[in-house]
Structure 1
Amino acid sequence: MSSRIQSHIAFPEPLLAFHPDRASDRETHPLRGLLRFGPHSKGLVPDPIRVATIAPHGESGRLYDFMKQLNSSHQPIERREYLPEWPGFHRVFGLHMKGAGGACHVELDSSVEGEFQDSSTPQIVLADRLVRAVQALETRRPDFDVLFIYLPQRWEAGFVGKAGDDFDLHDHLKAATAARRLPIQIVREDKALSYPCRASVMWRVGLALYAKAGGVPWKLADVDPETAYIGISYAQRPVESDRPRFVTCCSQVFDAEGSGLEFVAYDAHEFDLQRDNPFLSRTEMFRVMTRSMDLYRRRHAGRTPRRVMVHKTTEFKREEVDGCMEALHLCEAVDLVQIVESVGWRGVRIDPQGGATRGAAAGYPVARGTLVGLSPRECLLWTHGDVRGISDRGAYFQGSRSTPVPLRLVRHAGHGTWDDAARAVLALSKMDWNNDALYDPLPVTLGYSKVLARVVKRMRGLGSAPYQFRFFM
């Protein structure tokens, strides 16, 4: 028996589309594409985007100054091989952003500072005051589009709970505002107001603001128009909670262009717990997939996709496979793919040039998009690595640190080569509109579902209606 693994193949960097009709408006670099072509949904988002604010007592001015910076230009001082100049919000997105009317700006009472300092649970004090401020703005909801909430660094003790306390202020606020269908942007002093690279901050916040106002910055360019992508994740509530322990969060059902603006979630009741991971019964998985397909058909004039790819981080047990197949029986092809992040594999790129150094490790890592087959059911895919055509220097390695770790893809249902499944994972890693990076290590099917599950588990009533993702970003 040979111990040699299969030869590798390399997929090109996926293209992004910046216009619904013009095939020429394509680019691998998301920010460069926005500068060249404008956003995909140009002209479809109300102009201007009106911003409401919540700030500490006497500090609204700092938030207003920050908002003004979004309309100014800034040169990058970090990631210069990737990050372009920020030319101002209007230049990037083709519309304006401004502060909403005067009644849409709230300052917390000055007494918050004393209560916060004196309390043994400052996170509870802070969360309560901020949620009450949000409630005060609800009557003004028709007058603004997105809410900015400013958190100074001196409140850091209230951002998370103490050891063993399952509390996160960010997720708590997202849960409270998502239930009210209100998109928010949390503006932290350390990560936004005082962060040295203003261009980096403006790109991140500008992208998030546009998406939270209902915009679509870009979509995928070259994908099968009859394939749907689904990501499944689970969140665990504390044992002492009076609600079901696990919430099943089905991430957006992404269509062929990678655009998924809604998702479904519900409490899981029938599952087998192994290694602190829930594995759904056939009935529960059937419910998840059926609701996902209903969501897809509602967005696609009743049409059923020809092919469905389902991603999750744990293996698909036999009952889960059967539940998927029963719910997706109208689809011609179903791929159930487990995506494993923590693997022991590493790859080193060998310099192919001759001379004394022939066979030595190259000065840059394995190329992003490299796939190595391990068996008919498993392969390694590098979603993190060297990318060409991004930097003027040739090679671009996002982060420029450590040896990139591949993802291990395990197929529990499906046939054929790994090409389609691997291309999909690679392309979907570029669909996070809440990030200015070239890509994420995970496809958005799993990246989003993890975020959604973390927030959804804190919501009191899930309901049966789909949620828009922009309320959870």
Structure 2
Amino acid sequence: MRVFTSHDAVRLDNQPTCRTNSLPLGNVENLRIDRVDWKVHQAVLVQIRPLGSELALVLKPTLYVTDRSGAIAPKDTERLVKQRVLGYQHNKEFNDATEAWRRRLIPQRDFHVRYPDHEDGIALTFSGRPLFARITDERERTVSLNSVQELAARQAGLQLAEPRLNFARKSTVGLAFDTHPVRGLINNRPFDSSLTTTGIASSIRVGIIAPAQDAIRVHQYLSQLHAAAQPGKDADYLPPFPGFASAYHCPLEIPSVGEPSFVQLEEPDSTAPSSARALAGAIARSLAALSASQRPDVTVIYVPDRWAPLRSYMIDDEEFDLHDFVKAAAIPKGCATQFVEEDTIRNAQQQCRVRWWLSLALYVKSMRTPWTLGGLSEKSAYVGLGFSVKRKTNQNAGAHVVLGCSHLYSPNGIGLQFRLSKIEDPIMRNKNPFMSFDDARRLGEGIRELFFDAHLRLPERVVIHKQTPFLRDERSGLQAGLEGVACVELLQIFVDDTLRYVASHPTSDGKFEIDNYPIRRGTTVVIDDQTALLWVHGASTALNPRRHYFQGKRRIPAPLVIRRHAGTTDLMTIADEILGLSKMNFNSFDLYGQLPATIETSRRVAKIGTLLDRFSDHSYDYRLFM
């Protein structure tokens, strides 16, 4: 990348990021954070990367943050600065910044260089013309491109429809459909509301564990779930919260202070690591006692700010996390838990949002199902893989790799389960664990057996998602273990944060005009026979066909890269399934998650799994890990 140092005011600092102090791209800004002044330079991330059968020069505007002496800012400071400065660099602003850098680095139409920069280097030619993708939406009128625009639009793709969720009808038997989870719930009933009306699960009973001095405050706050709340700044997405019973058509039982279902904890003696572990043990024993005597559907655990030093620590090679420790103790007993922090109670401005999210957590962790997903194949099994490495320490003599395997066998998205297993012979590549042939074969056999136990037949198709590549031993081992399954899809799925596209539309004079909103959610660009880009995060009309909604409203979205390592299913079908699974994270009322539910939590689940003392063939409902 040294070829760019010949340009005035552009310098490389031994990494693929250019920065400039020149006026055309903006003056250096000063930003004060935590009483420290930081210098913020306009910069660009430069990468040469394969894109299908060609190489592409990728430019991503960014910031280069230093202190007054020129020393690079710490990562946390840099991240905070970028959030403040770039958070609202939306479609047009991002495009303007990219264009400025493109004109600076590639001033002519074609730019010829050698890399490395000597006569034996590889000859490269960069085109100064941007790369366009032509997106077709079969539900709308297709825009005609002239010959110049057709030449520029060298990539092509489709706009997938927003997946629909299934709910129970409010007044009649049957299913109702909606693309918006909150709206679907209010206009209808939860998918499993028949459990309430038939008396099988007539209410949701909550247990509470809280410090004695906060008991009254916690009870008063949770009791507010019975009351309505109006939305604030997020009124474009959230409707008013009507109260738990009205939203879920199910009563919520919250114990009063002093009742057996309300456990009051003594205050820890100190903030030392020994007190942190003692607190975790006290919470775990309280959960066990509640489970044995009161059997609540879900237990709320309140953690005040003053306990912050007790929540986690790392001393030498000993690592502790209160949340993960308690979860690991509760999961084998089948105890569902919900942590509530003091900041949640204190956040008065977003209580409508907080009540929606907290109420969903209580409903779902009670093993209830608010909605399901339509469109998945009844003959397919969907599996997500995540890994966590437990390092060898003085306290832990046995280092090992834990595999968190999510498996989803119901075609409507019900019953996402997790199975934890120990990788016997892990292969480490760039600090990432991979499976040996035998480990992969055992995993494949387990997937096949679980599906057979559930359906008394083998699946016709198994789709396996993970975020790292499938090595040769993993591919051959999984296929051996899944012998008898007609189609095995091995899909690597990850967010490519550098690769950004901006939405535009053609004009009558043969040019392209930048759109006011980013790439639409569901946009899918096929790169080659094995690779596609899918915008799971993007602008959506799911709320209102005539209005765009952009979740989070921060900068512009990055696509998911879908890379197939085995399988024959059409890439558009695969993208459609992933888009649907992005709506099945019951841990949030967001319109979608940025990854499919199969892998969104698998890495975190595997991390909690490293704390479990034993591994077995038992599968856990994923809601226990939430």
TM-score per shorter chain, which class?
A: over 0.9
CA distance in 2, matches of 1:348, 1:122: 52
CA distance in 1, matches of 2:294, 2:476: 45
Match of 2:574 in 1: 421
Deviation at 1:390, TM superposition (A): 1.0
CA distance in 2, matches of 1:256, 1:414: 20
Q: 1:402 aligns with which of 542, 549, 555?
A: 555
Conservation of the 8 A alpha-carbon contact between 1:283 and 1:323 = yes
Q: For the aligned residues, what is the CA RMSD?
A: 2.3
Q: Tell me: CA distance 1:405–1:86, structure 2 relative to 1, closer, same or farther (3 Å).
A: same
Match of 2:499 in 1: 345
Conservation of the 8 A alpha-carbon contact between 1:149 and 1:185 = yes
Q: Tell me: CA distance 1:57–1:342, structure 2 relative to 1, closer, same or farther (3 Å).
A: same
Q: Which has the higher contact order (CA 8 A, sep 6+)?
A: 1
CA distance in 1, matches of 2:577, 2:557: 19
Conservation of the 8 A alpha-carbon contact between 2:392 and 2:399 = no
- Are residue 176 (structure 1) and residue 329 (structure 2) matched? yes
Deviation at 1:470, TM superposition (A): 2.1
Q: Report the number of matched residues.
A: 466
Is 429-438 or 278-287 further displaced after alignment? 278-287
Match of 2:516 in 1: 363
Deviation at 1:343, TM superposition (A): 4.4
Match of 1:126 in 2: 279
Matches within 5 A, 1:179-198: 179-198=332-351
- Are residue 11 (structure 1) and residue 168 (structure 2) matched? no
CA distance in 1, matches of 2:420, 2:485: 22
**What one-letter code is carried by the residue in structure 1 that aligns with 2:304?**
P
Conservation of the 8 A alpha-carbon contact between 2:381 and 2:407 = no
CA distance in 2, matches of 1:454, 1:270: 18
Match of 2:34 in 1: none
Match of 1:43 in 2: 194
TM-score of the superposed pair, with normalisation by structure 1? 0.92
User: What's the secondary structure of 1:65's corresponding residue?
Assistant: helix
Match of 1:312 in 2: 466
Q: Tell me: CA distance 1:295–1:172, structure 2 relative to 1, closer, same or farther (3 Å).
A: same
**What one-letter code is carried by the residue in structure 2 that aligns with 1:37?**
N
- Are residue 26 (structure 1) and residue 181 (structure 2) matched? no
CA distance in 1, matches of 2:409, 2:270: 42
Matches within 5 A, 1:244-263: 244-263=399-418
User: What's the secondary structure of 1:288's corresponding residue?
Assistant: helix
CA distance in 2, matches of 1:419, 1:408: 13
Which of the two has higher C-alpha Rg? 2
- Are residue 71 (structure 1) and residue 226 (structure 2) matched? yes
Sequence identity percentage: 31
Q: Tell me: CA distance 1:333–1:140, structure 2 relative to 1, closer, same or farther (3 Å).
A: same
CA distance in 1, matches of 2:357, 2:324: 19
Q: 1:104 aligns with which of 261, 264, 271?
A: 261
Deviation at 1:120, TM superposition (A): 5.3
Partner deviation per Cα, 1:236-285 (whole Å, 9 max, x = no partner)? 11221333420011013343212233221111112211111121112111
Conservation of the 8 A alpha-carbon contact between 1:195 and 1:201 = no
Q: Tell me: CA distance 1:364–1:254, structure 2 relative to 1, closer, same or farther (3 Å).
A: farther
CA distance in 1, matches of 2:373, 2:304: 37
- Are residue 298 (structure 1) and residue 453 (structure 2) matched? yes
User: What's the secondary structure of 1:25's corresponding residue?
Assistant: strand
Is 335-344 or 17-26 further displaced after alignment? 17-26
Q: 1:321 aligns with which of 475, 484, 509?
A: 475
**What one-letter code is carried by the residue in structure 2 that aligns with 1:59?**
D
Match of 2:430 in 1: 275
Partner deviation per Cα, 1:386-438 (whole Å, 9 max, x = no partner)? 00131587010000001100011110001243111101111000001111100
Match of 2:397 in 1: 242
Deviation at 1:293, TM superposition (A): 2.6
Conservation of the 8 A alpha-carbon contact between 1:51 and 1:146 = yes
Which structure is higher in strand share? 2
CA distance in 2, matches of 1:293, 1:60: 48
User: What's the secondary structure of 2:501's corresponding residue?
Assistant: coil
CA distance in 1, matches of 2:159, 2:545: 21
- Are residue 148 (structure 1) and residue 305 (structure 2) matched? no
- Are residue 453 (structure 1) and residue 610 (structure 2) matched? no
CA distance in 1, matches of 2:546, 2:279: 47
TM-score of the superposed pair, with normalisation by structure 2? 0.71
CA distance in 2, matches of 1:439, 1:194: 24
